[in-house]
């Protein structure tokens, strides 16, 4: 190791390498280009291919080891990868695994692109499937790139299962980016590929994610039907992690529909199952769901405990998407508890994280939350600006519940500023949307309209 460090230092002193972070170096562009030319001139194609295959095998094997440490309960989603003889670095635990993937992410993306275009298609499709959950945690644009390469590679080789999984992964990514129509198309195409293969796990994934599309569009009955189908398929395949995920999603829909007892039952079952199988991401999601139901039911102390536990777990896992959603929930809780400044802190962080990752639902929710906390702090003009921006994002992303929330917030802000006619206009739009969605917020808006009749 000392010899290696000395050699690297000498190469840097000679300007053949340049630093690229702590303990890492990269070639200067001209040196890299020259090296590629020399390798092509001096090494036979078979030797170059063997060397590159060994390199790609190393990255696959290490990525597989890292994912097993980070998401041990989701091995059923990942392809088997041979690790023996590939010089996998020692990863002492999840923290080491997270550090390795975060550090190597640009290289892993480059490997996926190169292998897809140069005859290592199986490496591309496996890398895509290995990294799905990592990208799903908040690296959505990177996910689009890698899953897109995987789809092209699978089409090129006639790998129908590979196409189905790449389409599913692209569908999930587009859900987070607020492009539900595109997501639905990808997921239906995936299901058409999985059906003749009798790929039960693939079909379960498509059903679960079609449920997410329906839920995002406010069609809770359709979402419930998709989730129930997914649960049956996961149980048929023996995928307990997948079953826990569908329980959590069923709880989300029940909670949004005002069926709090049913939601609590689903989340409680999901929490017990995720703890039993060691599925930490699922455990955090179940805690978030319980916190949401408790907040909606007015049990604020219990909600705060569960949401803080959830936030700590998502941060420990490095799951930015989960952290974003939980901070948004905590922001709403702080607003309800009369803490507008703390709420505003949460929502500003959510807004920054959502815009960085392209998470459109999170962006709309954060803007609405900032509007609600501003109104609670007596800043009606600022509230109107935030809610107007939220409505525009929600309309573009097709998130009807956030659009309704924006109109409700605009109603409250105009009421506070002494503009009752404008307030009623927005409240009525919110009421119509909440009634169409079947959400209990309709009762709150109806009560507000009753307290301030027109005329």
Model pTM?
0.82
C-alpha closest to that of 318 among 134, 106, 74, 107: 134
- What is the pLDDT at residue 90? 83
Sign of the alpha-carbon dihedral angle for 401, 406, 409, 415:
negative
- What is the pLDDT at residue 34? 46
Q: In this predicted model, what pLDDT tens digit does every residue of 306-352 receive, in sequence order?
A: 999 999 999 988 889 999 999 999 999 999 999 999 999 999 999 99
Residue 437 and residue 381 share a domain:
yes
CATH code: domain of residue 448: 1.25.40.10
Distance, CA of 39 to CA of 95 (rounded, Å): 37
Q: In this predicted model, what pLDDT tens digit does every residue of 153-187 receive, in sequence order?
A: 999 999 999 999 999 999 999 999 989 999 999 99
Residue 258 CB neighbours (<10 A): 15
Share of the chain above pLDDT 70, in %: 89
Q: In this predicted model, what pLDDT tens digit does every residue of 5-59 receive, in sequence order?
A: 666 666 666 556 666 556 665 665 555 554 555 555 555 667 778 888 999 999 9
In a domain, 109, yes or no: no
Residue 398 and residue 360 share a domain:
yes
Residue 427 and residue 353 share a domain:
yes
In a domain, 47, yes or no: no
- What is the pLDDT at residue 7? 60
Residue 380 and residue 272 share a domain:
no
Give the tokens for residue 155.
């089409």
In a domain, 72, yes or no: no
- Adjacent-strand bridge partners of 18: 26
In a domain, 285, yes or no: yes
Residue 395 and residue 309 share a domain:
no
Residue 418 CB neighbours (<10 A): 9
pLDDT at 363 exceeding the cut of 50: yes
Residue 367 and residue 255 share a domain:
no
In a domain, 173, yes or no: no
pLDDT at 259 exceeding the cut of 80: yes
3-class secondary-structure state, position 271: helix
Residue 446 and residue 395 share a domain:
yes
Q: In this predicted model, what pLDDT tens digit does every residue of 71-101 receive, in sequence order?
A: 988 888 899 998 776 677 888 899 999 999 9
User: How many separate domains does the chain show?
Assistant: 2
- CA-angle at 74, arms to 72 and 78, nearest 5°: 110
Share of the chain above pLDDT 90, in %: 75
In a domain, 356, yes or no: yes
Domain range for 416 is 337-455
Mean pLDDT of 393-419: 94
Mean pLDDT of 406-419: 95
Residue 303 and residue 271 share a domain:
yes
Residue 441 and residue 404 share a domain:
yes
Residue finishing a domain among 318, 348, 374: 318
In a domain, 112, yes or no: no
Residue 455 pLDDT class (50, 70, 90 cuts): very low
Residue 446 and residue 418 share a domain:
yes
In a domain, 373, yes or no: yes
Residue 271 and residue 355 share a domain:
no
Residue 19 phi/psi, 5-degree rounding, is: -65, 145
Mean pLDDT of 108-129: 96
Residues 6+ apart with CB under 8 A from 14: none
Distance, CA of 78 to CA of 132 (rounded, Å): 9
Residue finishing a domain among 318, 346, 375: 318
Residue 448 and residue 365 share a domain:
yes
Distance, CA of 142 to CA of 126 (rounded, Å): 16
């Amino acid at each position: 190791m000392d010899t290696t460090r000395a050699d690297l230092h000498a190469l840097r002193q000679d300007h053949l390498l340049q630093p690229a972070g702590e303990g890492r170096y990269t070639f200067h562009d001209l040196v890299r280009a020259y090296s590629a030319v020399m390798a092509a001139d001096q090494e036979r194609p078979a030797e170059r291919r063997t060397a590159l295959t060994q390199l790609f095998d190393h990255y696959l094997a290490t990525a597989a080891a890292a994912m097993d440490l980070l998401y041990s309960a989701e091995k059923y989603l990942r392809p088997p990868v041979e690790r023996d003889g590939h010089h996998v670095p020692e990863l002492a635990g999840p923290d080491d695994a997270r550090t390795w993937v975060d550090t190597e992410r640009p290289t892993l993306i480059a490997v996926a692109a190169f292998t897809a275009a140069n005859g290592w298609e199986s490496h591309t499709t496996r890398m895509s499937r290995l990294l799905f959950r990592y990208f799903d945690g908040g690296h959505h644009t990177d996910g689009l790139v890698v899953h897109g390469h995987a789809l092209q590679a699978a089409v090129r080789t006639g790998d129908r299962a590979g196409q189905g999984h790449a389409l599913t992964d692209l569908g999930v990514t587009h859900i987070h980016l607020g492009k539900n129509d595109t997501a639905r198309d990808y997921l239906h195409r995936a299901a058409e590929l999985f059906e003749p293969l009798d790929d039960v796990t693939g079909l379960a994934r498509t059903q679960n994610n079609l449920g997410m599309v329906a839920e995002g569009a406010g069609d809770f009955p359709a979402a419930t039907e998709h989730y129930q189908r997914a649960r049956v398929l996961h149980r048929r395949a023996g995928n307990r992690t997948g079953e826990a995920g569908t329980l959590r999603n069923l709880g989300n829909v029940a909670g949004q529909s005002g069926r709090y007892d049913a939601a609590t039952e689903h989340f409680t079952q999901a929490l017990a199952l995720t703890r039993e199988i060691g599925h930490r991401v699922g455990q955090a999601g179940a805690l978030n769901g319980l916190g949401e139901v408790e907040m909606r039911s007015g049990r604020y102390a219990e909600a705060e405990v569960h949401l803080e536990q959830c936030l700590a777990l998502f941060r420990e896992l490095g799951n930015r998407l989960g952290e974003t959603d939980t901070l948004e929930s905590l922001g709403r809780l702080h607003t309800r508890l009369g803490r507008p400044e703390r709420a505003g802190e949460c929502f500003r962080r959510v807004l920054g994280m959502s815009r960085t990752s392209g998470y459109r639902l999170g962006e709309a929710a954060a803007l609405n939350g900032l509007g609600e906390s501003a109104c609670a702090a007596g800043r009606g003009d600022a509230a109107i600006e935030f809610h107007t921006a939220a409505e525009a994002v929600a309309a573009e992303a097709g998130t009807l519940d956030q659009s309704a929330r924006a109109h409700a917030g605009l109603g409250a802000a105009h009421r506070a500023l002494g503009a009752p006619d404008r307030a009623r206009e927005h409240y009525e739009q919110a009421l119509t949307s909440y009634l169409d969605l079947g959400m209990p917020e309709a009762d709150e808006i109806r009560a507000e309209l009753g307290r301030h009749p027109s005329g």
